[in-house]
Amino acid sequence: MSAIEATAEIFVTAFKSLKPRQREAVLERMLEDEDISTDIADTLALESRRHQPRQPFRQVLKELGIKA
């Protein structure tokens, strides 16, 4: 396990140990922070598309009507 994975595991374990109201408070604070909420939204968008087929960049530009 890498140091990054170990740190993530510690944070997740601590979060899971909180009572529901405490978890809610932590999430609310994270979402109030613009940088963190943007990171969360970006991560969720990437995860939701992880299994979609990939397309070449030039093909996407063509479909969007953008000349490269």
Contact 32, 26 (CB under 8 A): no
The pLDDT tens digits of the residues spanning 6-52 come to 999 999 999 999 999 999 999 999 999 999 999 999 999 999 999 99
Is the pLDDT assigned to residue 68 strictly greater than 80? no
Q: Predicted confidence band at 64 (pLDDT cuts at 50, 70, 90)? A: very high
| Domains contained in the chain, number | 1
Q: Find all residues with CB under 8 Å of 36, minimum gap 6, and list them.
A: 30
Is the pLDDT assigned to residue 67 strictly greater than 90? no
Query: What does the block give as tokens for 61?
Result: 């530009």
Domain of residue 23: give its range: 3-64
